[in-house]
Amino acid sequence: KSAWAICFEDTLNFIEWNFSHNYIPQNTIIAEKDGTCASAMQLMPYKLNIGGEIFNARYVSGVCTLPKYRGYGLVREMFDFAHPKMYDMGADISILIPAVDGMYEKFGYRELAKRKLYKLDDISGFNVICEFSDELILTLDEIYKKEMSTKSMYISRCRFDWERILTDLLILSGGRVLMSDGGYALAYPKNNSYEIWEICGDIRLDVKTVPAPPVLAKIINTQKISEEIFRSSEDRYINMLL
């Protein structure tokens, strides 16, 4: 938790929530040096639907090294350990969204899909929801499942995933869910405007595209997933809130 707080610009509320809801010791790799947690990463489990088939995925999150211990190759050692560990956990593929360009290719990661984020200055005119409810989860899940049924790649979500997304969006980030009759958008406040991290279904927005890092992946189980999945990445986009 201390390493996360030093390395990332997250609020204390988010950090506390992250480590009380997402953190599991069995999914965490730590590089110890001088008796200190010098570097760490988390391997969060997800289900990834590729062409109608469900694969076990591990999303690499929170890769961080204390400034004092950078340059010792600790992250490389963690990845060398993590990949066979993920295989033992039953993972077919590892995915991540890089915060730094060119950092993860040397560990075997390649572009799997592009991402789009959007900027929206005005959210008036929409049905704006700012409160967490069971009805909201059911509505979003219905729209998501309908929209994703036509996609070739997406994250399969359960109630726990929606609870985590909406807690981060509505409670920790002060964001909003923008609703229409057949669609939604998830809007996070950003510099007196909003960043739209996910648009799903039939909803019209006057938005500007914001640069977004792609989704990178490394095949863990070569018996179940072939290199073919990388060949269509140029035309593939994916909305992923992880």
Sign of CA dihedral 138, 112, 95, 152: positive
pLDDT at 242: 45
CA–CA dist 17, 29 (Å, integer): 19
- State whether residue 15 is helix, strand or coil: helix
Residue 221 is predicted with a pLDDT of: 97
Q: DSSP state, 150?
A: T
Provide the residue-wise pLDDT of the chain in tens; the chain has 242 residues: 888 999 998 889 989 988 988 889 999 999 999 999 999 999 999 999 888 899 999 999 999 999 999 999 999 999 999 999 999 999 999 999 998 888 999 999 999 988 888 999 988 878 999 999 999 999 999 999 999 888 888 899 999 899 999 999 999 999 999 999 899 999 999 888 999 999 999 998 888 988 889 999 999 999 999 988 887 655 666 665 54
The per-residue pLDDT for 113 is: 87
pTM across the whole model: 0.90
**What is the spatial distance between Cα 59 and Cα 47, in angstroms, rounded to a whole number?**
10
Distance in angstroms (rounded) separating the CA atoms of residues 165 and 157: 10
Q: What is the DSSP string of 215-228?
A: EEEEES-TTT--GG
